[in-house]
Amino acid sequence: MADHPREPSTREILIQATMRRLWDADEADLRILDVCQETNLSTSVIYGHFRSRQGLIDASLLRIFEIVTDEMVSDLTVVAAAPHQTGSFVDTLYDMLTDPAQESVVTRQRQMFFRISSTSLSRTSIRQGFLALYDRFMVRIDAIYDRLVDDGFLDAELTGHQWAIFFEGQMLSRAFHDLSSSWDHQEDWNRAARRMLNAAKPEIVD
């Protein structure tokens, strides 16, 4: 007998429906009745699984953060596999720091990362789950930068963890700038990113 795909749980159905809304709208605009209508589930089912509207939102934001960080790690892992041959790692970092396209995958990742990180600072109900996911993310990011230091691609004067702190801080700063047109001086970001990456490996970046 052939195996059949496992049906998603009720909890998963609710999270997926909520995630779709949170990707494109503020949580203040999320209506439980809209989620009920899409999933054909009642409010009592939602409260039974998440206890409150906020509980559903928190679970969905954490899932989005997990997806976004998994994608970021995956992207960096691929391009860091052979940085000496292609320079693709530098190209990717440069794009992540300078890409202004609001509809780009990189920009959307960066904005969701920033949005959920900011939420965790002011909402205790999400903070513990966020910190667990963030720690997992940084452990994997550190490993990528450790490898680049060991390979001689990044200056060994800094550890992999120190490089990770440096680059991730720049990503968050760029996310904030993306939200403000008055701060979005693209050429400033281009020049700063070139200078920063030149400091990492001068012979790769023009």
Find the range with the poorest average confidence among 57-66, 161-170, 172-181. Answer: 172-181
Q: How many CA atoms lie within 13 A of 29 on its CB side?
A: 8
pLDDT, position 200? 62
Instruction: Count CB atoms within 10 A of the CB of residue 139.
Output: 12
Residues 6+ positions from 151 with CB-CB distance below 8 Å? 83, 84
pLDDT at residue 203 greater than cutoff 80: no
* CA–CA separation, 176 and 183 (whole Å): 9
pLDDT, position 32? 94
pLDDT at residue 3 greater than cutoff 60: no
Q: What is the mean predicted confidence (pLDDT) over 168-193? A: 69
pLDDT at residue 73 greater than cutoff 70: yes
DSSP 8-state symbol, 184? -
DSSP 8-state symbol, 28? G
Question: Is the sign of the CA dihedral 105, 107, 109, 115 positive or negative?
Answer: negative
**Residue 178 contacts residue 61 (beta carbons within 8 Å):** no
Q: What is the mean predicted confidence (pLDDT) over 164-185? A: 70
pLDDT at residue 103 greater than cutoff 90: no
* CA–CA separation, 179 and 5 (whole Å): 41
pLDDT, position 86? 52
Six-digit token pair at 149? 């230091």
What is the reported pTM?
Answer: 0.81
List the Cα angle 14/17/23 in 5-degree steps.
130
pLDDT at residue 91 greater than cutoff 70: no
Residue matched to tokens 């205790």: 124
pLDDT, position 1? 46
pLDDT, position 96? 65
